A and B are shown apart, each in its own frame.
Chain A
Amino acid sequence: MKIKEKAKVLDAEQIDKSLVRIAHEILENNKDVEDLAIVGIRTRGAILAQRLAAKIGSIKGSLVPVGALDITLYRDDLTTVAEQPVVHKTEIDFDIHESVIVLVDDVLYTGRTIRCALDALIDFGRPKSIQLAVLVDRGHRELPIRADYAGKNIPTSQKETVQVKIKESDGVDEVVVAEKED
């Protein structure tokens, strides 16, 4: 199966602006929050979480704890996927109990990844609340889940894929919509 790129929807500058806006929105919504922490979903969500935490930190003038979550062990499709996915490390080295967690992922699609992430997070303790920030919301939800902060809403068809590329893992910052060709 080949994948054909159709359109670039965000470039490096737009990605950065989206993150800056999300950072301001998070601070606006959590004005008096002492225990704010950012947790990104591996792989790209974790990188975006690092950037977001740095932006919030520089606006606020203090460090924001940031962690990375691997949701593989919580997936609901392990018995059906062809090959066992590689498990990566979960790194949350702060206490999430009674804190406000902003969960970060690159693309919000069916909502199943977020369901896994909520279960995984709650195994670490009981946060006061969990909010969701995504770079791209492409619709087609299969679970009652929504984003509190979205960089961009991109209406897509089920045949299309949204590819978020991040410098740290893909060498370039951009978001493209592509289509699968049979």
Chain B
Amino acid sequence: MAVAWKRKDLLDLESLSAEEIELILETTGSFKEISQRPIKKVPTLRGQTVVLFFFEPSTRTRTSFELAAKRMSADIVNIQTSASSLTKGETLKDTARNIEAMKVNIIIMRHSCSGAPHMLAGSVSPSIINAGDGSHEHPTQGLLDIFTIKEHKKKIEGLNVSIIGDIAHSRVARSNIWGLTKLGAKVTVCGPATLMPPEVEKLGVKVTYDIKEAIEGADVINMLRIQLERQGQNLFPSIRDYSMAFGLDAGKMKMAKKDVLIMHPGPVNRGVEITPEVADGPYSVILEQVTNGIAVRMAVLYLLSGVKERVE
């Protein structure tokens, strides 16, 4: 492999080169086997401290990061924002600088504001991993999606990947778009016009408002979660309406290629964006995505832990 990992932080896929993404994918492949052993632990991060700093609810991502760090023997601290001094008015930066003063190595952070991890990365010395920032990016989710696709299809270049649903609010969509297009996939985004960000085609994707176009010829279909909490904003007439037009069900699956992969970043709203028979069907790799998530996060922790030069 030609490239070596030099970055202190993993903030987004936008700033990574195709070679850096390939390096993470390659490293992920080597880590996957560890979770299949009877003793699921290697000593690599012994003595290193990882802080999980989640300002938004999460089951999958937080558990996945925590297991990844534990399987590499790191020590882990969970900060619950509701029980932290942020509720007493301390700023994010001050909290982070205090954590830094306790000599931690890696901070994994989820925040509702786009760019929050970028701000911290520039002001504290521990490595920052973005575990989702607002509607900006969720780089490890993008990486695990790409890894899962590559495991099945053996390549990314030239594949037709359709991302369907709430593109405007989805950090998963953005990380997938950046990563997949850098590796040469042809990405189509599809959803109601109200959930499509303006000028999205500038990211190098094809836009369609017709789900038929997104399904036909796709090698991979990634269904996004409809964020039900946004239902009050009148972005679509009703859940039932949305489901009829953009939900993936057995009927619409008839238009799909015979070897299509069905993905979903979770949590699934069964019967809304995807019906149970499709989510649990033979084309679905949704649970494989979850398994691969741990390996991807182990790979990222490994690569970041090797960075010796830190800003002080």
Contacts and interface: CB of A to CB of B under 8 A. Distances in A.
Contacts of B29: 89
Interface string A72-97: 01100010011110111111000000
Contact of B42 (A81, A83, A123): A123
Contacts of A81: 306
A124 B44 contact: no
Interface residues of B, number: 25
A89 B42 contact: no
B54 interface: no
A86 B33 contact: no
A55 to B, nearest CB: 27
Contacts of B5: 83-84
10 contacts: A73-B72, A74-B42, A74-B43, A74-B44, A84-B302, A84-B307, A86-B26, A91-B33, A123-B41, A124-B38
Nearest to B28: A87
A86 B27 contact: yes
Given A73-B43, A119-B43, A124 B30 contact: no
A90 B4 contact: no
Nearest to A119: B43
Contacts of A84: 4-5, 302-303, 305-307
A88 B27 CA distance: 7
A137 interface: no
Please classify the interface of chain A as helix (H, G, I), strand (E, B), loop, or mixed, using the class held by over half of its residues: loop
Interface of B: 1, 4-5, 23, 26-27, 29-31, 33, 37-39, 41-44, 72, 299, 302-303, 305-308
Given A84-B302, A86-B1, 5 more contacts: A86-B27, A87-B302, A89-B30, A90-B33, A123-B39
A82 B1 CA distance: 16
Nearest to A70: B30
Given A123-B37, A123-B42, A124-B38, A88 B306 contact: no
Interface residues of A, number: 19
B30 A90 contact: yes
A125 interface: yes
Given A84-B303, A89-B33, A78 B26 contact: no
Nearest to A125: B38
Contacts of A87: 27, 30-31, 299, 302
A82 B39 contact: no
Nearest to A87: B30
Contacts of A125: 38
A120 B41 CA distance: 10
Nearest to A90: B33
Closest 5 CB pairs of A and B: A84-B306, A73-B42, A87-B30, A73-B44, A123-B39
Contacts of A73: 42-44, 72, 302
A94 B302 CA distance: 27
A120 B33 CA distance: 13
A83 B33 contact: no
A78 B306 contact: yes
Nearest to A85: B306
Contacts of B31: 87
Interface string A100-133: 0000000000000000000110011100000000
